[in-house]
Chain A
Amino acid sequence: MSLLNEPSVNFHIKLNEQSFHIPNELLKNNIKKIQKLVERESKRLSDFFDELSSSMAGHDTQTSMDKLNEIIRAVELLERKLEKRVNVECELLKRIEYRIEYYKELDGYKKTRNREGLISWYQRYTSLLIGDYLTRNNNIYEQELSTGGAHTSLRSKRKMSSPSFTPPQVNTGLRFLQSQGLEHYLDYDILITANQISKSLDVNHDLSLLVNWIKENQTYLSSKSSMLEFETRLQEYVELVKVQNYPNAIICFQNHLIKFINTNFEELKLASGLLVFIKSCKEQMTKQTDTKNDPYNLSTKSGFCHYFFRKAPSKDFQSTEDSFKIDSGTRIPRGGDFERYARLLDNERWNVLKRLFLQEYYSMYGISQHDPLLIYLSLGISTLKTKACLQCPVASETEDAMLDKFLDNELNQSKCPVCSDEFAPIAGDLPYAHHIQSNLFENPVMLPNGNIYDSKKIKILAGKLTSKRLYSLEQDQVLDPIDRKVYYEKDFITMYPT
């Protein structure tokens, strides 16, 4: 029997397969890069040696010496590159080692039945989940920090192509992990890259990081026949159209979109249509600007379209707008389905793109799509939630605030995590735990008001109240912490709950 009914070490390892899977993926990436490097360099060196042999045969000492120097330089360069890769390998192997040690520690606590050790192990486990959550959701806290250095950091980020780099701006989650000495237990670099790319999408509306990432992982994406590249390029095109940069929009279309003609014909049709449609809007714009009191900038085309279509939730509304435009003499033909253009122009597409990216990214590394902390919380709350949770406070109050505070604290229900201020608002929609056994207490006695307590504990409570001078009670009196009235011990009724 385990100490806390906790799962076995085997299950823990299965549960955290990610923390072994990710370093192994990175190791495999690393070794593939080395293989390419070695192949390339070996070919180059072979050529060098051939040249050397011929110059040697020709007794051309000077050329031979030059060639030899060239060879040495090439080997030196290769050595440095290899060294970098070896360091990467070493760091990744260390990660695996740290994690193995971590589970060996758990194994040790379980074997020696060390309850405190086990609890502290789970404290660290919780910290890791928090670190994971903070790393993935970094942007919500660092908005004010990032406004200052956004430009410089973006530029330096662009230069760095591999996912294993230290970011110029310290991620909250990483900072938390480092303060706990836990950075080796989580593959934060992978999560930070995901966070940076997704943040640049939905906060800055910047595609450059994503485009780079797509280039680097082209093989993976095409092997999955992912739509990510298409959606990204389509977004690039749409953004260019929005700012009226038609030449570049057309170049983008020709360079990056046309190859999807067989798979995404409809979208491409729509995209080309957008070009025409947006142009037709142009003449309309000046007239509209005066008549509409708008929060958006209607003097630009994108502002106008944005305003116009975000405001058009239903088809009916669309068609009224539509006829309105016919009346004012626009060239847009009647009956055109404008909602589809609206969807294309909508900023919500950035969110869709972000989700698609994260989905591809997480599945590439075998990382869970949802924040693990949220998964644990959802399961945990349900498992803890009893039918008595989330009820309005049942205890009545006295005039004495000190006494109320003390009594509230003595009631175990006040410590229930599901009923806490933090979790009560999100626990409501989750299912209750299923119980097959009563879980009560020893020596149950009923007071005349129907409340049933552990008779020893209610007497201890009376003792504490007297000694702390919070309430004066006679020798054989107790205070009911729920209705806060005084009862005599002689009125206790022993109960037999089964």
Chain B
Amino acid sequence: MSELLGNLECEYQKLTDGAAAGQTHLKKCLDDTHNFKMNIKKLKGYLAKQAQDAAGEDSQNPAKFMKRRQLAVEKLNKLHKQWDSGARKSSKLAIQQYSKFQKNAINKIYDFELDQVYTNQFPPSARKHVESAIGLHISRYNLCEIPEQDSEGMVRYLENVYGVNSKISTNFVEMAQMVRQLRQDNLDSCMAWCSEGSNLEFELHLLKAMFLLQSGDKSATYLYLLKSIPDFMTKTKKSFLRHRVAPLLAQLVISSETGLKLEEQRNKCIELFTREYCARNSLPFDSSLFLVVMSGIMSFQFFIKYRTLQAARHVDWTTENELPFNVKLPDFLTNFHPIFICPVLKEETTKENPPYALPCHHIISKFSLDKLSKNGTCNFKCPYCPVTAARSKTSKVNFVIL
């Protein structure tokens, strides 16, 4: 485990088990106070009884009564002293413990302030765009959790509560309703929606069979599988999916419900469905906000490192309008636009400096082409192979990612 996390957990444990296992000092103080109260009550009862007896017996044995009374008073005072020192001690120990937690856990995780890296601040006018991104994000992911059922109500709710533009949220209403039904074990609308022969259809069949099996109706499960699966296989020729049915059939035979991965299968169906729904309706599967935040999380440490370096060494970055460091992002964040670094200039190609193909099918940027050909006045050798090229024989190219 990460060392900071381990330390945090260990120090936290010390907090909760301050006085005893599962009892903080504060809780002990409360318990002591409670006992103190109960004991005073008991003694009060005792004293009241003594007084009554004393009155009834007409001071038959006043010495004895006095002695008992004296004892009770002494006991009371003792209880008070005990409680008093206990409570003071507990609160003192609690304070010490929290400062210890601060010192041993909190101070150790403090390294930097978030604000330090916020050098490129958004103007106030950016907020409305950020808010529309939030609206899209909520419509995409959180629409099926809102307390409204009908489509109009859903759109209205998002508009009233989060200020989401109805044009955006409307796109996701149908999807959210079907996801909600899937979560409520209702597969009909999704089954009707999915395209015939798709993987989604297959997975829905499996999910349906699992529902039947869970309800304990084995013969219905068997009949359902028999009715839907061979048919699907012959239509689609996706016989490689056959192995997925086997565990279910095995479940049928050995009658135990432990191996039934129903929730997993449901989530798989929901994932497949949302993917297909977004693709069919040209909606983004990942919200732009999520992708940008992800990239923000990935790059945060580089920004922090740069800040620290900059402060310590007074270095500055000369290339304007470009970050001073490279951040390696995961592939799902880098496949939107192609990046071509000119092998000669070691610079990224741009609109002003686009890539050009040489006759030998190697590619360099326009600036290096101009340089090598001395602005088109002479032939030059390709920097990567022995072929000679003239600028007139080169052509501008454009990379496109599909």
Contact = CB atoms under 8 A, between A and B. Distances in A.
Contacts of A380: 291-297, 299
Chain B interface, DSSP helix/strand/loop, else mixed:
helix
Given A376-B293, A377-B293, A7 B94 contact: no
Interface residues of A, number: 145
A217 interface: no
Interface stretch (A49-57, A203-211, A252-260): A49-57
B101 to A, nearest CB: 6
Contacts of B357: 446, 450, 495
Interface string B100-139: 0110011001111111011011100011011111101110
Contact of B8 (A13, A52, A406, A439): A13
A433 B327 contact: yes
B145 A377 contact: no
Nearest to A420: B288
B30 to A, nearest CB: 5
A417 B91 contact: no
A294 interface: no
A420 B284 contact: yes
Contact of A35 (B5, B95, B105, B327): B95
- Indicate the size class of the contact surface on chain B: 35 or more
A5 B328 contact: yes
Interface in A453-492: 453-454, 457-458, 461, 481-482
Contacts of A89: 24, 26-27
A199 to B, nearest CB: 15
Contact of A141 (B33, B76, B162, B326): B162
Nearest to A110: B2
Interface in A195-249: none
Contact of A45 (B84, B133, B334, B361): B84
Interface stretch (A69-77, A261-269, A301-309, A340-348): A69-77
Q: Among B48, B51, B109, B113, which residue has the most Cβ atoms of chain A within 10 A?
A: B109
Interface string A430-454: 1111111111110010100011111
A149 interface: no
Nearest to A133: B134
B185 interface: no
B120 A49 contact: no
Interface in A67-104: 68-69, 71-72, 75-76, 78-79, 82-83, 85-86, 89-90, 93, 96-97, 100, 103-104
B198 to A, nearest CB: 13
B170 to A, nearest CB: 15
B384 to A, nearest CB: 6
B110 A137 contact: no
A15 B336 CA distance: 28
Contact of B114 (A372, A430, A436): A372
B106 A497 contact: no
Interface string A1-35: 00111111111011101101100100110011011
B114 A370 contact: yes
B3 A10 contact: yes
A9 B288 CA distance: 25
A329 B337 CA distance: 71
Contact of B113 (A86, A368, A409, A425): A368
A251 interface: no
A461 B402 contact: yes
Nearest to B292: A380
B95 A86 contact: no
Contact of A422 (B120, B133, B297): B133
B400 A422 contact: no
Contact of A31 (B98, B291, B319): B98
Interface in B67-95: 69, 73, 76-77, 80, 84, 87-88, 90-92, 94-95
A112 interface: no
Given A14-B109, A85-B26, A423-B133, A383 B296 contact: yes
Contact of B339 (A11, A61, A123, A440): A440
Contact of A430 (B120, B299, B320): B120
A364 interface: no
Nearest to B353: A387
A172 B161 contact: yes
B193 interface: no
A402 to B, nearest CB: 10
Given A382-B120, A412-B401, A10 B2 contact: yes
A368 to B, nearest CB: 4
A135 B142 CA distance: 17
18 contacts: A7-B297, A9-B2, A31-B91, A34-B29, A72-B40, A75-B33, A93-B16, A126-B290, A134-B134, A375-B114, A378-B121, A380-B299, A417-B291, A434-B319, A434-B323, A437-B339, A481-B400, A495-B361
Closest 8 CB pairs of A and B: A380-B296, A376-B296, A9-B2, A416-B336, A417-B288, A422-B133, A380-B292, A4-B330
Given A388-B337, A426-B122, A444-B399, 4 more contacts: A53-B77, A141-B163, A379-B299, A430-B120
